[in-house]
Amino acid sequence: MLLFHFTEIHSEIKSEKDVLKIIEIQKSIIESDIMKNPKTKLLINRYFQIFDRKSTQDKILDEFIILESFYTGSNKSEISFRLSLNIAPFLGKNKENFEEIYQFIKDVYSIRSGIVHGDEWESKLKKPNIKKYFSFIEDSDFISNVAETIFLRLKEYIDETILKILNWEIEKEISFFEKATGLDFINHRFH
């Protein structure tokens, strides 16, 4: 039994390896207790709905909804700062990687805000603090390529988060939602 149903093969699913990885993740989810948590179930279902989105900006919004839910909890003040501060130690493999993740999330959060508030979010993609991450992208169709690259990088962060949560839940080490936000998480990670 598959937990998530795809109505078509989407462009993000490029190979049989991708399909097998999705099936492996679904199997792990089904076999764990993680889906008993309504919040987790909702977020994972939202994650798989991203593949049905046609617009990259909608995909980015959904990704930030997922990341904010995982990493900021119910406190909605200073979201950009708290999201960056909580995701970086969770996914960072060393100090440099921590700083890179922290700064990337903080910088691209302005893209999310621009989309949500109806600003000219595409113009933000060309600002130096964003453009520095995408120097490898050529100027032809720069905006859509950068937006797609942001989507893929955020998706990678979500993938890593989900896999870590699954491993924790399967091994019953800790409950993610008890440790993922605020100083409790940071203290757990570094002490």
Q: How does pLDDT run across 95-136, given as a tens digit for each residue?
A: 899 999 999 999 899 888 888 888 877 777 777 777 777 777
- DSSP 8-class letter at 173: S
Confidence at residue 19, expressed as pLDDT on a 0 to 100 scale: 74
Q: Which domain holds residue 42?
A: 16-190
Confidence at residue 9, expressed as pLDDT on a 0 to 100 scale: 42
Which sign does the torsion angle of CA 128, 130, 136, 142 carry?
A: negative
User: Is 153 inside any structural domain?
Assistant: yes
Identify the helix (H) or strand (E) that includes residue 23. Answer: helix 16-31
Confidence at residue 183, expressed as pLDDT on a 0 to 100 scale: 38
**Distance, CA of 66 to CA of 49 (rounded, Å):** 11
| pTM to 2 decimal places | 0.72
Domain count, the chain: 1
Residues of the chain with pLDDT under 50: 1-11, 173-174, 179-191
User: Is 2 inside any structural domain?
Assistant: no
User: Is 11 inside any structural domain?
Assistant: no
| Contact indicator for 149, 18 with CB cutoff of 8 Å | no
**Distance, CA of 136 to CA of 153 (rounded, Å):** 14
